[in-house]
Amino acid sequence: MSAPAARRAGAPAIRVRHLWHRFGSRDVLRDVNLELGHGEIFGFIGPNGAGKTTTIRILATLLEPMAGRVEVDGWDVSVDPEEVRRVVGYMPDHAGVYEHVTVREYLEFFAEAYRVGDLGVVDASVELTDLGKLQTRMVSALSKGMKQRLQLARILLHDPKVLILDEPASDLDPRARIEIRDLLLELRELGKTVFLSSHILTELSDVCTSIGILERGQLVVAGPIGELAERLAAARAERPAARAESEPGEAPGDRLGAPPVAPPVRRRLKLRVLGDAHAVLPLLHGGGGVLGVQASAGGLLLVEHAGGEAFVAEVVRYLVTQGVMVVGVEPERNELERLFLEVTQGDLQ
């Protein structure tokens, strides 16, 4: 009798199929389907209690899926957890660190535990995470941001293909958050696949190549950011009314095609003009699609509107024809935040 094939060759970095999980009598994950190519940075977004951590713990082999199949780099997490552990670097949310050891000792311990053999990896990951100067510092004396970087250094030691980070930027100040973000970009360049969860949207928007939005255990939207935005826009154009009621038992796949649509979203456009901005106010007030205008010193205008890019172009053209010297146009674009609010509207707990 031949042994069943253990690893699927040419498999995507992460593949989740019909994943269900239950705690007690509560379905925490309901038929989650997800596929993630190598080298992507995937943002896993959802309100508190949506089931992000549960999904992540299953990916990291710390929890066993109750039904469905979950594969990481072609290894089935419930059949070959040891292999999955070799290819995954997992950073838990609110993880602890050993006190009374130095940064270097901490990393050396994990390098030994991972049996990497060559302790040169410690230097490499210290370098990557910029912990060089702190190597002799006691772990207990590190700040939260430094501890977070230490955790990142730890999960890089065994050179995993897939990094799974649960809320890597929570509790961090904006500066530390930017540092982590830059680090993620660097890791992407090294060819790593990154799966990160968050409910802070802005920290993800400029690093993620694709996102998935989880809501009450169901994946309501998943895909590359640009594609999702287009799909949402198309859906909005088709059904401009209110958000479609989601039917109970509806499969997430059905909702992908026709995502629930929110009432007009307020978007903001920042304009800078030469001269007094207040003089421009009458030109914009009452214009079609304009929801509100504010002027401030320095020729700054803040236009709230419900239109798309065409609207922005139209506003600029109109102002120019009216003789206003427009020197700066800055559409406030946070696609992710918009997507998130539209999809999970009313369900934020």
Instruction: List contacts with other proteins (CB under 8 A).
Output: 1, 3-4, 6, 17-18, 60-62, 64, 67-69, 78-79, 81-82, 85-86, 88, 90, 92, 94-101, 105, 109-110, 112-115, 151, 154
How far, in Å, CA of 253 to CA of 266, rounded? Answer: 28
- Stretch 25-44: interaction string toward ligand ATP, x if CB under 6 A: ---x----------------
User: Which of Mg ion, other proteins, ligand ATP, none does 129 bind, CB closer than 5 to 8 A by kind?
Assistant: none
Does 52 engage in binding with ligand ATP (CB under 6 A)? yes
By CB under 6 A, residue 59 contacts ligand ATP: no
Q: Is 133 exposed, middle or buried (0-12, 13-18, 19+ CB in 10 A)?
A: exposed
CA distance 337 to 202: 7
Q: What DSSP state is assigned to residue 275? A: S
Minimum CB–partner distance for residue 104 and ligand ATP (Å): 31
Q: How far is the CB of 24 from ligand ATP (least distance, A)?
A: 6
- Count of residues interacting with Mg ion (CB under 5 A): 2
The CA-based angle 164-155-71, given to 5 degrees, is: 40
DSSP letters, 6-53, are -B-TT--SEEEEEEEEEETTEEEEEEEEEEE-TT-EEEEE--TTSSHH
Point out which span in 50-58, 130-138, 265-273, 303-311 binds ligand ATP (CB under 6 A).
Answer: 50-58
Query: Of 128, 189, 182, which Cα lies nearest the Cα of 153?
Result: 128
Q: Does 53 bind ligand ATP (CB under 6 A)?
A: yes
59 binds, among ligand ATP, Mg ion, other proteins, none (CB under 5 to 8 A by kind): none
Give the range of 50-58, 103-111, 271-279, 322-330 binding Mg ion by CB under 5 A.
50-58
Q: Which stretch binds ligand ATP (CB under 6 A): 51-59, 131-139, 148-156, 282-290?
A: 51-59
Q: Which of 181, 199, 216, 236 is in the footprint of ligand ATP by CB under 6 A?
A: 199
Q: Whose CA is closest to 89, among 67, 104, 73?
A: 73
Query: What's the sign of the alpha-carbon dihedral 95, 99, 103, 105?
Result: negative
CB–CB of 45/198 below 8 Å? Answer: yes
Is 129 one of the binding residues for ligand ATP (CB under 6 A)?
no
**Which member of 53, 148, 210, 344 binds Mg ion (CB under 5 A)?**
53
Give residue 81's identity as a one-letter amino acid code.
P
The answer to the question of residue 51 lying near ligand ATP (CB under 6 A) is yes
Nearest approach, Cβ of residue 298 and other proteins (Å): 48
Type of residue found at 16 = V
Structure tokens of 63? Answer: 């929890």
- Give the residues lining the site for ligand ATP (CB under 6 A): 23, 28, 46, 48-54, 199
